[in-house]
Amino acid sequence: MSQNLPIFSVLDELAEQLKKTKRAVLTAPPGAGKSTAVPINLINDPAFSKGKVIMLEPRRIAVKQVAARMAQTLNEPIGKTVGYRIRGETKCSELTKIEVVTDGILIRMIQADQELKDVSTIIFDEFHERSLNADLGLAFCLETANVLRSDLKILVMSATLEVNAVSKLMQNAPIIKCQGKSFSVTPHWQKLPQTQEEIIPKAISEVILKVIKTKTGSILVFLPGEAEIIKVAASLKGQVPTDCRIFPLYGRLDFKDQQNAIKPLSDGRKIVLATNVAETSLTIEGIDHVIDSGLSKRSIYDSSSGMARLVTQKISKSEADQRMGRAGRLAPGNCYKLWSKSQDGSFPEFSPAEIEKSDLTPFVLELALWGGNVDDLALLTKPNKNAISEAHKVLQMLEAIDEKLQITKQGRSLSKIPLHPRLSKIILSGAQDAPLLASILSDADPLEHSRNTDISLRLDAVKKIQREKSNQSGSIKLPIAKRILKEASRLSKYKVNKSNYTVGQLVALAYPDRIGKRRDGQIPRYILSNGKGAVLAENDPLRSEPFIVACSLDGNQKEAKIRYCAPITLSEIKELFEEQIISANTCYWSTRHKKVIAQCQEKLGHLNLHENPWKNVPNDIFVDAMLDGIKQLGFFHSKNAKYFLARVRMAGDKFPDMSDKNLHETVKIWLAPFLQNIKSAEDWKKFDDFEALQSLLNWEERQLLDKLVPAHFVTPLQRKIKINYENNVPEISIRIQEMYGQKTHPTSAGLPIRITFLSPAGRKIQTTTDIVSFWESSYEDVRKDMRGRYPKHFWPERPADSQPTLNTKNKI
């Protein structure tokens, strides 16, 4: 290892601070040599020789490369002084003094031995990536150091980090800053479109080809994910010079292929197409130019829907700096950014920590096993309370914690399996296909271009590869299938029991909240046991299945699209969840069918598994359901009811409140006794509610209403004319001759009746609320007009003193 690396200038200070305070934060730029030099320097100091140095790396690929680099520095094989541990693979010995591990391995180590007896120092490398297990691991280590191991040394390292916040979290740990000596890197902003579809692969490929033609040296290209790497590699095929070799680099890639991308070429140039795994820790030799898409794929978990979705987002400024720093390690370099300089300001300073956007179910299970409370943990970012609550619900559903949130025997068993607790539940089932199914569900889709959602197809395809050791049909992605088979082999050791569960039952064990029953209709929509909706493509082969279990959804809150699922029968559901299924009679208003439905149901969560008609429903239960419907539908008052309400409302506070608001609030009191045989919206629209409304008044109140707000006006000819109250004013329409002899203006409800006078032909003449004044003034003009129009009718000069009539003059 070159002693000229920048990190050597601070190694002595770092060791002294760790001896003194047992805590330290180290910040060093990319290429400073911290990941390799710091652990080796510490084990050579007697103060750190009483136990191992454990160094945490955020990715498996980094674990292997960092360990290999340190072993090479010591001129030793991996597994001697320097070893590593990742899931399913360990290279350590009794001589090992430095262990490089993933964050998940660190959690398992400290859960198994909270004192960390054989450990002197824990190093958290590249902590800025803020993985969930790194945050949790640091919290556990700090608690161990404070309670059990005051001599335990803890070091946090990063190239880009909020050092002050981390220092404060670690009880004001000293901050050591290492200045870099890398060569200058010239940024080149590209005036290119910013939609992902335009950047990848077209714009990226154009920039790569331009750099190849105009510059010498190798290129590192940052892309969001594996799919984009494959697209860009395909677009470059046949377009690059023969001395240029293209290497993919992503987390799921086979280790040998990863090493090919990392190690230097003996001759020629290389183009490395990488995800963000190449941002930190990995040293890719000979890189002169970086091309940055400015994009990264992140898994975003929605606690309200219980679903995660993979989204492509802008990277942060710190990530952009990390990527840019990959060039200029050995000579001046260039960084081509696929965004304009003015867009720099729109990038966030730091990417969100996993604890802010991830499913916290594994986190909460580890916390339950630890025996602590999330509020007591030393976390840089506190988790969302709703996300914690949702995780508790999932773990209780998986029987991993009890109602007091304490871990159960099953929870302890689940925690030992290096999978999400849901998938660990599949392993514990003991079914023969359980390890393989859990591996498929934890990996990428092994099928080529399949739109079929049936997870059984994937299981059968991988089993076929296992039997035949080939892929003659070409319908399966062989590297993914081999990776799945390898992982399944590792997981087999956790399978203890034996069972004959079907694929649908195994998936239901992991996702009991996503058992779906098909809704009525042509479109294959399903209601899930958690109460949410999901839908299959209309051409999906499983579209007619009455029951399915959705193991992957797209996260749409309104109606999630089902990516993968398994069919399951009603009897299989009952076999698994016999104790959770509730048999109950239910009577409710169906908004969809607009009627009362009464059923004897078997329910699992929100899922109605089976129903029969409920006969002889008690009247009060049925009426309550209909009243719920009426509250949704609103009132459809009959003509008589509207008239009655208008009269009561004209009377004011002398009578019960019959406003729409109060009628809604008291509907059960006045309407319920009259709802026999009313079962649907159609029945309700035909229902005459006059009798029910009238029942709100007793006999005395009805008599008083007739007196104060009479239904009729009695004319001078003793005819009854209905008074209209709908406009909040009493009104009548009457032939003018019938009102002859009326010397005072009639009233109702304390108001003058608005009288509309009609001609003998029934046409409107004039309206008045003061008949005395009308006779004395306006009538004369009306008389002149009417005498000309209706000469056969009687038009006296003094109408107030004349006899009322409906006849012509010759009949008077």
Length of the chain counted residue by residue: 812
Question: Do the bridges between strand 547-553 and strand 515-518 make them parallel or antiparallel, or are there none, so unpaired?
Answer: antiparallel
Report phi then psi at 740, rounded to 5.
-55, 140
**What is the pLDDT, as a whole number, of residue 179?**
81
**What is the pLDDT, as a whole number, of residue 330?**
73
697-736 pLDDT, tens per residue? Answer: 999 999 999 999 999 999 999 999 999 998 889 999 999 9
- Report H helices in 341-408: 354-357, 361-370, 385-397
pLDDT over threshold 70, residue 197: no
Distance CA 275, CA 227 (A): 10
**What is the pLDDT, as a whole number, of residue 305?**
52
Q: 58 is written with which tokens? A: 């955020």
Q: What is the mean pLDDT of residues 309-322?
A: 83
pLDDT over threshold 60, residue 1: no
Q: What is the mean pLDDT of residues 769-795?
A: 92
Distance CA 290, CA 287 (A): 8
**What is the pLDDT, as a whole number, of residue 479?**
83
**What is the pLDDT, as a whole number, of residue 781?**
92
Q: Which of 323-337, 432-446, 610-624, 790-804 has the lowest mean pLDDT?
A: 323-337
**What is the pLDDT, as a whole number, of residue 285?**
76
555-608 pLDDT, tens per residue? Answer: 777 888 999 999 999 999 999 999 999 988 989 999 989 999 999 989 999 998
**What is the pLDDT, as a whole number, of residue 169?**
93
Three-class DSSP category at 719: coil
Q: 214 is written with which tokens? A: 């105009």
**What is the pLDDT, as a whole number, of residue 648?**
92
Query: In which residue ranges of the chain is CATH 3.40.50.300 found?
Result: 6-177, 185-352
* Omega of the bond leading into 201 within 30 degrees of 0 (cis): yes
Q: Given 3.30.565.10, 3.40.800.20, 3.40.50.300, 3.20.20.70, which CATH number is that of 185-352?
A: 3.40.50.300
Domain 504-613, architecture per CATH: Beta Barrel (2.40)
Q: What is the mean pLDDT of residues 108-113?
A: 94
Contact between 55 and 39 (Cβ < 8 Å):
yes
DSSP-derived secondary structure letter, 109: H
Which H or E run contains 561?
Answer: strand 560-567
**What is the pLDDT, as a whole number, of residue 600?**
92
Distance CA 224, CA 313 (A): 8
Three-class DSSP category at 577: coil
Contacts of residue 137, Cβ cutoff 8 Å, sequence gap at least 6: 56, 103, 106, 107, 110, 122, 124
359-391 pLDDT, tens per residue? Answer: 999 999 999 999 988 999 999 999 989 889 999
**What is the pLDDT, as a whole number, of residue 196?**
60
**What is the pLDDT, as a whole number, of residue 118?**
92
Q: What is the mean pLDDT of residues 206-232?
A: 90
Distance CA 666, CA 466 (A): 69
The CA-CA-CA angle for residues 603, 604, 606, to 5°, reads 85
Confidence of residue 138 (pLDDT cuts 50, 70, 90): very high
Query: In which residue ranges of the chain is CATH 2.40.50 found?
Result: 504-613
C-alpha separations of 436 from 424, 463, 486, 493, 550 in Å = 12, 9, 9, 12, 18
Residue 369 burial (CB count, 10 A): 18
**What is the pLDDT, as a whole number, of residue 181?**
64
Q: What is the mean pLDDT of residues 35-45?
A: 93
Distance CA 449, CA 465 (A): 17
Q: 179 is written with which tokens? A: 């200045």
Give Cα 170 to chain centroid, integer Å: 33
Domain 6-177, architecture per CATH: 3-Layer(aba) Sandwich (3.40)
Taking the CA atoms of 441, 447, 453 and 455 in sequence, report the sign of the dihedral they define: negative
**What is the pLDDT, as a whole number, of residue 677?**
87
- Report H helices in 32-98: 34-43, 60-73
| Listed residue (120, 122, 92) closest to 107, CA to CA | 122
Question: What percentage of residues in the chain have a pLDDT greater than 70?
Answer: 96
pLDDT over threshold 70, residue 296: yes
Q: Which of 396-405, 446-455, 572-581, 586-595 has the lowest mean pLDDT?
A: 446-455
Q: What is the mean pLDDT of residues 265-282?
A: 82
Three-class DSSP category at 477: coil
**What is the pLDDT, as a whole number, of residue 103?**
92
Q: 416 is written with which tokens? A: 């030992």
Confidence of residue 119 (pLDDT cuts 50, 70, 90): very high
Confidence of residue 777 (pLDDT cuts 50, 70, 90): very high
Confidence of residue 160 (pLDDT cuts 50, 70, 90): confident
Contact between 384 and 358 (Cβ < 8 Å):
no
Contact between 355 and 381 (Cβ < 8 Å):
yes
**What is the pLDDT, as a whole number, of residue 423?**
94
**What is the pLDDT, as a whole number, of residue 474?**
66
**What is the pLDDT, as a whole number, of residue 193?**
57
Report phi then psi at 620, rounded to 5.
-65, -35
Distance CA 603, CA 241 (A): 65
pLDDT over threshold 70, residue 739: yes
Q: What is the mean pLDDT of residues 58-85?
A: 92
**What is the pLDDT, as a whole number, of residue 747?**
93
Q: What is the mean pLDDT of residues 67-83?
A: 94
**What is the pLDDT, as a whole number, of residue 307?**
59
Contact between 180 and 168 (Cβ < 8 Å):
no
More confident call, 231 vs 474: 231
Confidence of residue 58 (pLDDT cuts 50, 70, 90): confident
Q: 0.85 cut: is pTM over it?
A: no
Burial of 141 from C-beta contacts in 10 A (0-12 / 13-18 / 19+): buried
Contact between 605 and 582 (Cβ < 8 Å):
no
**What is the pLDDT, as a whole number, of residue 80?**
95
Distance CA 188, CA 185 (A): 10
